[in-house]
Structure 1
Amino acid sequence: MRGLKMLARALVMAAILGGPATAQDLVEVAPGVMLNIVEAGEETAEPPLVLVPGWSMASGVWRTQIDHFSRSRRVIAIDPRSQGESTKTGYGNTPATRARDLRAVLEARGVRRPVLVGWSQGVQDLAAYVTLYGTDDLAGLVLVDSAIAGGARSMTPENAEANTVTFVRMAIYQQYQAEYVQGFLEAIITQPQPPERLERLAADAMKTPPAIGVAIMIADLFGDDHSAAADLIRRPTLIVASDSSPELARQRALAERIPGARFEIVEDAGHALFVDQPERFNALLAEFLAALPDEPEG
């Protein structure tokens, strides 16, 4: 029975993603908390690619990357807790707990020496992962269009206006989720997309209850300070930023702080730059992957 369910899920996801056959399954990461994962590609000598989406998004936002990179390696994309098809819970909606969830998925699926790719909120999750586990078990890190948030200490007079905007937006989101999600997608995706894809992304975003969505955002930006994770990274790192990012300078500074980090800017793209300019993003990621050192013996 489980095999038939997996086959059905694979066929559905292949139709959705328009690429190689994929498998969709649930992984228990904590008592009563199941994470939805999408897996594609075969195990090869190349490091697996693990894709972590941003706030309220699900694994489907990585559709083009799953299609492209699963031709040469194993690819896993996750729905973080309380997002997409994963369990909705009022507990643990923080970068640190999502980092533990990610670790649980890697262990459950026997993923060795992965390259972790985090976008937006996913950058906070990877920073928390590095804080908790270091980078010895990784082949590399890719941080997409976000600096590492400074936590509550970042609420300074200099940032007062930006923080006020965040709280105003969250108040609107909690009252008018559908309208907010529509405007949110229009803001982060600036290049024309097939209507059905935008509808799918909006439907995924609507699966996060608004009260939980607000809690996630506040924990991401004003919770624990994981900025010291930059000093713990000992693996090749790629930072990719949109040319329109308000955090461009902070992302550049982050790249300068991480030894040997590569910093790239994608032009004519919004926050979801891998959706707006998939060919450019995929090429940058492919170059980074090709340059990774071989796994050390032993």
Structure 2
Amino acid sequence: MSQPLYYRTLVPLLLTLVLLASSTLARAEQHHYTVKAPDGVTLAVQETGNPAGSPIIFIHGLLGSRLNWAQQLDDPALQRHRLITYDLRGHGLSGKPTQASAYTEGRRWADDLAVIIEALGVDRPVLVGWSLGGAVITNYLAAYGDNTIAGAVYVDGVVELKPDQITPHPEVYRDMISPDLQTHLDGERTFLGLCFYHQPERPIFARLLANAALASWTMQRAVMSLTIPAADGLSNTTVPLLFIYGAHDALIKPEPAIARARTLNPRIESRIYNDSGHAPFLEESDHFNRDLNDFIDRINSA
């Protein structure tokens, strides 16, 4: 006797939902580590995705944490890769040194990235750096060269801390390092608002504020003097470099930043996202994830 119609349609649907749920849980599995930097700073590291896939290391920006990359870590297409994130020194669950030199010396940020690559046995990753994360990549390239990486993506990345490339917001940065708690927190909220052309949903913005509250005050005072050896880092790099900027970035000037990078390395590929501010990986995450996947596929097929 044939089964009722509702039974023949409901059971396959339930099975499909179970399989989808199982797949989502598998993708969401995360592994957490701590790694010690050469100067003793403890770095909080996380990875997910396919451990046998092409590795990607995501490097967040100022006041952020590895949680910034949720739209990438949860993307089914990107899950075929080995996805590694970490909290920069002075941020999130990583150590927060109290001396300014721990943040002004760019080599220390480079060493952090290098020790993570070594400790996790990462073979030729693609580096993806947002804002300050771009400066970390440049310091890494200057200190270690590009022999250990497959390519790099700068996402509204800082090329140099120079007035022709950085939009001035002196009152915001002043408030962010204020000793008065309310002024300090209000300054951080204003800074985060400037990151977006389209403001994120409330839960996401609340998480960004929580990230900011965890960030070291010493780091925020010192990082504006971070050394970025752009000429040494970019000029000698031969692996593929992709620079992505939001057209409405209120913190970095896209065209001057790209132009400066191209004077140092004419091979740089660039893209402008017309509907984004400083955070295209959040504001146009589907577009960004496709471009990142395509970039990695091109590298792997070369």
Q: TM-score range by the shorter chain?
A: 0.7 to 0.9
Matched, 1:116 2:127: yes
1:21 deviates by 1.5
Matched, 1:241 2:245: yes
Q: Which segment is superposed worse, 252-261 or 113-122?
A: 252-261
Taking structure 1 as reference, are residues 280 and 184 closer, same or farther at Cα in structure 2, changes over 3 Å only?
A: same
**What residue is the counterpart of 2:103 in the other structure?**
93
**Counterpart residue type for residue 194 of structure 2:** A
* TM-score under structure 1 length normalisation: 0.82
Of structures 1 and 2, the larger Rg is shown by 2
Matched, 1:219 2:225: yes
Taking structure 1 as reference, are residues 140 and 177 closer, same or farther at Cα in structure 2, changes over 3 Å only?
A: same
**Counterpart residue type for residue 119 of structure 1:** W
Q: Please give the alpha-carbon distance, in whole angstroms, between the structure 2 residues aligned to 1:137 and 1:211.
A: 32
Matched, 1:202 2:212: no
Contact 2:78–2:293 (CA under 8 A) maintained in structure 1: no
**What residue is the counterpart of 2:172 in the other structure?**
169
Contact 1:51–1:62 (CA under 8 A) maintained in structure 2: yes
1:70 deviates by 4.8
Q: Which string of whole-angstrom CA distances, capped at 9 and with x for unpartnered residues, describes residues 45-64 of structure 1?
A: x4200000111210011111
Q: Please give the alpha-carbon distance, in whole angstroms, between the structure 2 residues aligned to 1:40 and 1:185.
A: 27
Matched, 1:281 2:288: yes
Matched, 1:36 2:44: yes
1:167 deviates by 4.4
Give the aligned CA root-mean-square deviation in angstroms.
Answer: 2.5
**What residue is the counterpart of 1:102 in the other structure?**
113
**What residue is the counterpart of 1:230 in the other structure?**
234
Match for residue 135 of structure 1 among 121, 134, 146: 146
Q: Please give the alpha-carbon distance, in whole angstroms, between the structure 1 residues aligned to 2:278 and 2:89.
A: 22
1:252 deviates by 2.8
Aligned-pair identity (%): 24
Q: Please give the alpha-carbon distance, in whole angstroms, between the structure 1 residues aligned to 2:31 and 2:235.
A: 36
**What residue is the counterpart of 1:144 in the other structure?**
155
1:287 deviates by 1.2
Q: Which string of whole-angstrom CA distances, capped at 9 and with x for unpartnered residues, describes residues 172-201 of structure 1?
A: 112222111211222112324332221111
Q: Which segment is superposed worse, 253-262 or 188-197?
A: 253-262
Q: Please give the alpha-carbon distance, in whole angstroms, between the structure 2 residues aligned to 1:136 and 1:284.
A: 23
Map 1:63-74; keep pairs closer than 5 Å: 63-68=70-75, 70-74=78-82
Q: Please give the alpha-carbon distance, in whole angstroms, between the structure 1 residues aligned to 2:115 and 2:189.
A: 33
Q: Please give the alpha-carbon distance, in whole angstroms, between the structure 2 residues aligned to 1:161 and 1:241.
A: 13
**Counterpart residue type for residue 145 of structure 2:** G
Give the SS at the match of 1:38.
strand
**Counterpart residue type for residue 135 of structure 1:** D
How many residues are paired up?
A: 267
1:78 deviates by 1.0
Give the SS at the match of 1:93.
helix
